[in-house]
Amino acid sequence: MNKIKVGVVGTGFIGPAHIEALRRLPQVEVAALCEVTAELAKEKADALGIARSYTFEELLKQDDIQAIHICTPNFLHYSQSKAALLAGKHVICEKPLAKDLSEAEELVELAAKTGLVNAVHFNLRYYPLARQMKSMREKGELGEIYSFIGSYLQDWLFYETDYNWRLEPDKSGDSRAIADIGSHLMDILEYITGLKTVAVMADFNTVHKTRKKPLKAVETYSGKMLQPEDYADVPITTEDHANVLLRFDNGNKGVITVSQVSAGRKNRMSLEISGSKKTFNWCSESPNEMWIGNRDKANEILLRDPSLVNEDVRSTITFPGGHNEGFPDTSKQMFKEVYAAIAQGKQPENPTFPTFADGYRELLICEKILESNKAQAWVTI
């Protein structure tokens, strides 16, 4: 087998998650790693067991590298994705695709022009029961969708001493909680329901208007505490918490809440979709169970089991029922579909995976949510 050779750019929290998932695909080889300096790239490559290390410009010159994973801070996504496409590489980019709509639109057009495989890492679609909800809705089992209630709650920025580059608009953009985790929620909403969000009404809250930025390096999610003299006070302009009312193209409504300051909620995305026939409820912290609500008979619990889900869902499940699968498996299942396309050498006509066009769509919704919060008014998408 001639393996597809991959280069991964960035080694923060998500880069190693990509690497671990890629190593579970038999036709893929993580051949190279890139960091901001050659020295750091070598150090990280050695730690992760990757043979070759480069700066970004050097990586693009490697003819045998067919695909590039962009796992860097947000402000680099546009320039690095563009450079990789122009170098003839297939691109898998972390979300958000870019910092603004014009950059995202350019990437969508360039990707279409090259015909190269392009994907955005909306991996949460790949929880098997998320696809099961989509499949059941497509088969008419949910009925007309009356409402969507969603939340995505975390606590990793709970303290004023919690700090990360995502708090700095020049690196992550003008929105934080919505752009970071709300984008996943809006993507999976439209993916499962098939609805389009046509208007939004948003209200943001910055709980910690000043945070203490560490003067020493602290890794994301590490929970390490420094001494008082090791911090500098920094004003915060992006949201810790947001509520958004939604209007859909079928005339019905929804609401989402996102928060990065909810104590005890580590990474909890919760969905409740109510239709004219049933209600679906699912939570990412217990991803192998789906609640199905009924009016005139007993409610049901569907467990993630390849023998119980719809036939078109089974490809997202590797293990038998009772053998739980979770967050790391979502990236593996997504990359499985992406690399099937890369093996064919071009973007499919109807991709099953999230593409640059999906990245543009979520950026559009996030920008309209940001606009709504500033105006304190409904904004049409």
Active-site positions read 95
CB burial string 320-357: b at 16+ within 10 A, e below: eeeeebebebbbbbbbbbbbebbeeeebeeebbbbbbb
Chain-centroid distance, C-alpha 366? 13
Do 91 and 116 touch, CB atoms closer than 8 A? yes
Q: Which amino acid is residue 222, in one-letter code? A: S
221: which 2 tokens?
């999610």
Sheet hosting strand 28-34, strand order edge to edge: 52-54, 28-34, 4-9, 67-70, 90-93, 118-120
From its phi and psi, is residue 347 left (phi > 0), alpha (psi between -120 and 50) or beta?
Answer: beta
Q: Any idea which residue has 């700066």 for tokens?
A: 55
Contacts of 104 (CB under 8 A, 6+ apart): 78, 96, 97, 98, 356, 359, 360, 363
Sign for the CA dihedral angle at 156, 157, 160, 164 comes to positive
- The three-state secondary structure class of 346 is coil
